[in-house]
Structures are given as structure tokens and as C-alpha cells.
A and B are shown apart, each in its own frame.
Chain A
Amino acid sequence: QVQLQESGPGLVKPSETLSLTCSVSGGSISPYYWSWIRQPPGKGLEWIGYIYYSGSTNYNPSLKSRVTISVDTSKNQFSLKLSSVTAADTAVYYCARGGSWIESWGQGTLVTVSS
């Protein structure tokens, strides 16, 4: 059973870059799609983007100008960078396996944007 664990700062200042890493255990990064999804407080789920193990990506157009997702197959990890954050980016961020339906999720990590 694959397990995913998000890691990174829980507090980010406005205008800075949010950086999270997802460590995958119990299975290989290949040959799967890996997504980042977030849920702002009191709101629904929002897909941020995904990366294939080979490195190809697809992003939500609403965030595309600020998002970079990368993969490190040697470490069985993939990462999210979201630049120029504002309070609207405060959310629980999930890493997950899947590029269509999402079959496995990390526990999620709350990232708060505040000075």
C-alpha cells in the first residue's frame, strides 16, 4: 500500500514562495501520475497540477503562472512550488497519486500565508 507524506513550512509570508515535498513509500514513483490538490478553509478541493514520473506536467490554468511541480525519482519524491503567495493560498495541501481519479492521498499539511 503506497503511502504519501507532505513536508514543508506551515507558515509562508505574502509574496514569497510556498515549497512542499511529498515523499512516497511502499511503492515506486514510476509509472504513475502524481498530483497536488489543496482545500482552503471551508471550501472545496482544488486541483493544482500533476506530474508524470517521466517529468511531464499539467497545471491548473488558474495557477499555471505561479506553479512548478518537479519529480526526483532517485529519492521517490515530488515537489510543489507556488510563487507570489497571498492569503488566498492558505489551505490544506495534499499530495496524491493519480492524474485522473485520485487513488491515494497524503494526510495533508496546512499552509498558512501570513506576515
Chain B
Amino acid sequence: DIVMTQSPDSLAVSLGERATINCKSSQSVLNSSNNKNYLAWYQHKPGQPPKLLIFWASTRESGVPDRFSGSGSGTDFTLTISSLQAEDVAVYSCQQYYSIPLTFGPGTKLDIK
């Protein structure tokens, strides 16, 4: 299984400031045949189901604000929120779909400072 880890476990950022969350996979999720990274990011608020933010490591899902961006390749990835809004308080998780079983990171809890 590909093990996903995230850092930090939690962070607090001031409104309007940048938030950066890191995700690392135990093996590369880059498919060299199509040069695509098989990685997604989700936002999970209490009492709600997770919401897809990004797939292919950097492609925003339709309707996701452009303050959310994804980057990275191979085994190291980053989710950036360029200007934190109050509604962004949530747990953020990464997920690889390079191989079965699909696996998720443990989540990073994001709060307002």
C-alpha cells in the first residue's frame, strides 16, 4: 500500500494570510507514461462529507475558488490557500489513486489564528 503522510497535523493562520499544507507519499504517484500525478485533495468540515478540491495534483474541481491551488510531483505535494477565509476552517486530506488500495492522508486541521 502507498502510505500518505501530511504535515503539519494542525495549523492556525490569520485571515487573509497564506496557508500551506504538505503531503508525502511513500512511493511516487507520478505516471511517467502520461506525466500525471495521481493525487487529490479534499476539504472536510464537521458534519459534512468531504469535498473534492483538486485532482491530478493541481487541477481545481469546478466551483472551487482559485485561492486553492495544488502543486508538487512524485512524492511531495502541497496544498496552498492563498488568502485564508473564515469558511476555509476544515480538515484537509490528500489521497493517492495511483494504485489500489486508494489511500488517504491522516488530515491537517486548519484553524483561524
- Residues 35-59 of chain B, each 1 if its beta carbon lies under 8 Å from chain A, else 0: 0001010100000111110010000
Which residues of B sit under 8 angstroms from A58, Cβ to Cβ?
Answer: 100
CB < 8 Å: which of A47, A94, A104 contacts B102?
A: A47
Q: How distant is B72 from chain A, measured CB to nearest CB, in Å?
A: 16
**A101 near B52 (CB under 8 angstroms)?**
yes
- Cβ A103 vs Cβ B52 within 8 A: yes
Confirm or deny: B77 has a beta carbon within 8 angstroms of a beta carbon on chain A: no
Contact partner of A101 (CB less than 8 A), chosen from B1, B40, B100, B101, is B40
From A11-19, A71-79, A80-88, A105-113, the one touching the partner chain is A105-113
Number of residues of chain A lying within 8 A (CB) of chain B: 22
Give the contact-size bracket for chain B: 20 to 34
Of B49, B52, B93, B106, most buried by chain A (CB within 10 Å of CB) is: B49
Chain A residue nearest to B102 in the complex (CB): A47
Whether A45 pairs with B50 at a CB distance below 8 angstroms is yes
Chain B, Cβ-Cβ closest to A44: B106
Does B95 belong to the interface (CB within 8 Å)? yes
5 new A-B contacts, CB < 8 A, other than A44-B105, A62-B101, A105-B49, are A35-B102, A45-B50, A47-B102, A103-B52, A107-B49
Instruction: List residues of A whose CB falls within 8 A of some B CB.
Output: 35, 43-47, 58, 60-62, 94, 96, 99-108
